[in-house]
Amino acid sequence: KAGVTQTPRYLIKTRGQQVTLSCSPISGHRSVSWYQQTPGQGLQFLFEYFSETQRNKGNFPGRFSGRQFSNSRSEMNVSTLELGDSALYLCASSLPGLQETQYFGPGTRLLVL
Amino acid sequence: AQRVTQPEKLLSVFKGAPVELKCNYSYSGSPELFWYVQYSRQRLQLLLRHISRESIKGFTADLNKGETSFHLKKPFAQEEDSAMYYCALRGGFQGAQKLVFGQGTRLTINP
């Protein structure tokens, strides 16, 4: 099976702009989670989507949003970018059942100038 | 609140020596604990989870609820074990996929 894919892999934006990142889960996986990774804060949970519904949410401002489509692909959007949003954004997918393992994508590296 | 603490940011040992990466957690319920590993230029991947009680690449980890710890151990380190290791906790309602990660420990195995 193909792994989790994320596009684009690298992105440069300026403050105030918005950005959309995409994640395609492993075939058959219906849960998609997003994480932000920074040197200072480490890996932090953003949100999880399952069957097109947000099932869980981390402690991030409303500028961070996401959605999931009927084919389980997911997008996350960050509006009004700030310098501190520069990070590696990781997507992970899993089967919907209890105790299922999350499989991570390679990440999208976002640089905000 | 859910919290995972990895007290060592860096750990360096010689090849063939035992390795122990420490992980302590804070969670009021029954957590699931995981170790994830990230090798150079590779994606984050699951190394092992406490419910599996298995040994992967010679690594083991035992959940100690009394000490709220989930330390990762290997009796004889190999150079290919050099990587970033993250301890993670999953709590919350069943089926939810929120992982809380520690800050990670960079393990370097010296020849």
Each residue of B3-27: pLDDT tens digit?
Answer: 999 999 999 999 999 999 999 999 8
Distance, CA of B109 to CA of B83 (rounded, Å): 9
Which ranges constitute the DSSP H helices of chain B?
Answer: none
Residue B92: per-residue pLDDT: 65
Residues 52-81 of A with CB under 8 A from B: 55-56, 58
**3 state DSSP class of B78:** coil
- Give the span between the Cα atoms of B74 and B85, in whole angstroms: 13
Mutate to test the interface with A, among B98, B100, B105 (most CBs of A within 10 A): B98
Percent of chain A as helix, strand, coil, to the nearest 5:
5, 55, 45
> Is the pLDDT at A98 greater than 70, yes or no?
no
A1 to chain B, closest Cα gap in Å: 15
A26 touches chain B (CB under 8 A): no
Q: State what percent of residues in chain A have pLDDT above 90.
A: 87
With cut-offs at 50, 70 and 90, classify the pLDDT of residue B30. Answer: confident
Digit-coded pLDDT (tens) for A36-86: 999 989 999 999 999 999 988 999 999 999 999 999 999 999 999 999 999
